[in-house]
Amino acid sequence: MKKLCAALMAAAVLVGPLLVGPVGTAAADTATEPGTSDIKKMVVDNGANAVVVKLHGTGGRAAVRWVNVKLKGANGVSYTVQGAWYSVDWVDSLERGQRLVACDGLRIHYRSGYWQFRVPRTCLGRLTDQVKVSGLIVSPTSAIAGEAGPTGWVRRG
């Protein structure tokens, strides 16, 4: 009986971690974070060719003053993707620190229920494969900006 118990314990020690999965700060290539105020949730997909972020919440260009997403790499380099009203024009931009980054493939759209930010990896030259992401929506009708994140580390898929 003692041998059987010992064998079962040994099997549990060896097989248990395989059933539970890895433990630690492992990153995934997607993440979902709850939001506040005008953001219901944020979904991040750190793809091989583009980082795609969806901010579910208040939308439409006329409904917000600005929306932005911050991408922070493990090396400390950060990019900010922003769409905003300036006078009568809607302007999309990508910045690294205080510098504008030219990015022909940058897309910020409002789709049914969420803002979608798509930033090609070719525009994010100094961003590491693992990123933390946070989002913000500022609307004229809310006293408090909607925020989501930051995520944990999201690895490149």
Domain ranges of the chain: 26-148
Q: What is the mean pLDDT of residues 7-25?
A: 42
Structure-model confidence comparison of residues 90 and 102, the more confident one: 102
Please report where in the chains the tokens 């525009």 appear, as a residue: 123
Residue 101, pLDDT > 80, answer: yes
Q: What is the mean pLDDT of residues 22-40?
A: 78
- What is the length of the chain? 157
**How many C-beta neighbours within 10 Å does residue 97 have?**
10
Phi-psi category of residue 24: left, alpha or beta, with phi > 0 → left and psi -120 to 50 → alpha? left
Query: Does 1.10.3470 match the CATH number of domain 26-148?
Result: no
* Strands, E assignment, 2-130: 30-34, 39-46, 50-57, 66-73, 78-86, 89-96, 99-100, 107-111, 114-120
pLDDT band at 43 (very low <50, low <70, confident <90, very high): very high
